[in-house]
Structure 1
Amino acid sequence: MTLRPVLIFRWIAFLLAAGYCLRTLFFGGWDGFGGPFRYLTIWALFCSFFAFSRMMAIEEGRSDARWDGFVCMTAVINTMVVFLYWRLYFADPTSVTNNGQLRAWSLELYLHGLGPLLQVIDTLFIHRAYRRLGAAFAWLIGVICLYVAWAELVVQRFNDAPEGMVTSGLPYPFLNNLELAERAVFYCSNLAVGAGVLLIYAAIAWGFRRRFPAPAML
């Protein structure tokens, strides 16, 4: 098999995602119900792993299923994770970490930097997605709603920590300082942000396809 630049890129992206997924499963911290899957970051990581596996299948000619809606949603979720995490961390480190301290930099920079960036690059410039926005919006709304239901109805119920001024058990410390109505506003506002990011990426992808109509080559 010829090692073309795009294939090399996708192999690197896929292996990195696979490695961090394995690290999460074995060393991700299972001290509370739901373990690392309490966090949206980990949902985004595993979505990236699946998305990269499908891109590899296409690149190697093993599949022609594009999964456009799913890969677009994955890029948007990853972008939301990066934006929310660093915004909340720099405002108050204890709002998203247990003690205000970051974990290993190699982990933080991948989960909240490099990994999402690789996903966005692939969807915009290699896979050339964002053609079927209806499917992308459906995936985005579905995943966010599923995560909110998981956090509010399951994770909170079966965990006592972290504790907040209002409630306890929600995965991110700051959420436990918000009333239910305030959390609903937070969830809806971030869903709106996600929809906006999807539209921005769709515009970038459209412009790129117009400027470079031939398949992109790295």
Structure 2
Amino acid sequence: MTMTIVSFYRWVVFLLAAGYCIRTLVFGGYDAFGGPFRFLTIWALFMSFFAASRMMALMEGRSESRWDGFVCMTAVINTMVVMLYWRLFFADPTSVTPDGQLAAWHLELYLHLVGPLLQVIDTIFIHRSYRRLGPALAWLVGVIVAYVAWAELLVGPMNDTPVGRVTSGLPYPFLNNLEVSERMVFYATNLATGLVLLFVYAGIALIVRRRLPAPVAP
């Protein structure tokens, strides 16, 4: 893989992430407390943008930090978003969307498939991440705990919709149909899923590092 290909790939990843971040800030909707940042998908989008910017800076010699922990965490969170969103959508579209309808096709395709995939590919095949899992574990647990606290302690109490059988205001409709204990089990299960994904990616990355030549990029 030549530097030209790596540069082109990372510019594409960076510009797509930047464009969709700007779109979110302008058209994301602020009719409820938290605006678009109520949703984990948007957290993942902005983390992808920051990770892409760091990869660009590293590639161009403007940064000496590899940000391994952060980019590994971002890849895992993105994968969790994809898995959770489509699993819940296909089971019951209204569980993750207000009216059961998908948004614009390009937005759904980027946020819930292409964007996460592009970021994961960089971490495994170009950046060659997952060498030290301690920082990635800390980032992963920290971000998930922060999002749960944000949703439960601020977003839910500050909003009246969506309305569920148990409560209201939590960002995703299905959460409002769960008791507190059920939500805690759901959050813990997804944290465990994230940890498993991190180790799976670490295993894949180890095989890639041993069997494929490193690209001409940091």
TM tier, shorter chain?
Answer: over 0.9
Aligned to 1:22: 22
Partner of residue 215, structure 2: 216
Identity of aligned residues (%): 71
Aligned to 1:57: 57
* Secondary structure of 2:184 counterpart: helix
Deviation at 1:217, TM superposition (A): 5.5
SS at match of 1:62: coil
User: Does the 8 Å contact 2:68/2:136 carry over to 1?
Assistant: yes
Q: Name the structure 2 match of 1:142.
A: 142
TM-score (norm 1): 0.97
Q: What CA distance in whole angstroms lies between the structure 2 residues aligned with 1:31 and 1:102?
A: 19
Report what 2:159 is aligned to: 159
CA–CA distance in structure 2, aligned partners of residues 18 and 146 of structure 1: 23
Given that 1:102 and 1:108 are in contact with CA atoms closer than 8 Å, whether structure 2 keeps it comes out as yes
Residue 15 of structure 1: how far off its partner (Å): 0.2
How far apart in 1 are the matches of 2:84 and 2:3? 37
> Over aligned residues, Cα RMSD in angstroms?
1.2
Alignment partners' CA distance in 2, 1:62 and 1:180: 46
In the superposition, relative to structure 1, how do residues 130 and 157 fare at CA in structure 2: closer, same or farther (>3 Å)?
A: same
Aligned to 1:109: 109
Letter in 2 for 1:17: A
- Within 5 Å, give how 1:44-83 maps onto structure 2: 44-83=44-83
Structure of higher RCO (CA pairs closer than 8 Å, 6+ residues apart) = 2
Number of residue equivalences: 216
Judge conservation of contact 2:21–2:46 (CA < 8 Å) in 1.
Answer: yes
After the TM superposition, list the runs of 4 or more consecutive aligned residues in structure 1 that deviate by more than 6 angstroms: none
Structure 1: state its 5+ residue gaps.
none
Shift of 1:216: 2.2
Deviations along 1:172-208, whole A, 9 cap, x unmatched? 0000000000000000000000000000000000000
Distance across 2 between alignment mates of 1:155 and 1:103: 22
2:3–2:216 CA contact under 8 A, matched in 1 = no
Q: Which position in structure 2 is the counterpart of 1:96?
A: 96
Residues 118-174 of structure 1 show CA distances to partners (whole Å, capped at 9, x for unaligned) of: 000000000000011010000000000000000000000110000000000000000
Indicate the residue corresponding to 1:31 in structure 2.
31
Cα distance in 2 for partners of 1:79, 1:217 equals 26
Contact 1:14 1:53 in 2 (8 A): yes
Once residues 217 and 42 of structure 1 are traced to their aligned partners in structure 2, the CA distance between those partners, rounded to angstroms, is: 32
Partner of 1:189 in structure 2?
189
Distance of 1:3 and 1:123 partners within structure 2: 16
Task: Give the CA deviation at 1:3.
Answer: 6.8
CA contact (8 A) 1:5 1:217 kept: no
Aligned partners of 1:94 and 1:100 also within 8 Å? yes
Give, in whole Å, the separation in 2 of the partners of 1:151 and 1:217: 42
Aligned partners of 1:82 and 1:112 also within 8 Å: yes
Determine helix, strand or coil for the equivalent of 1:4. helix
Q: Name the TM-score, length of structure 2 as normaliser.
A: 0.97
Distance 1:86 1:25 in 2: 24
Distance in structure 1 (CA, Å) of the matches to 2:167 and 2:183: 11
Which one-letter code corresponds to 1:129 in the other structure? S
Deviations along 1:67-88, one digit per CA (max 9) or x if unpaired, are: 0000000000000000000000
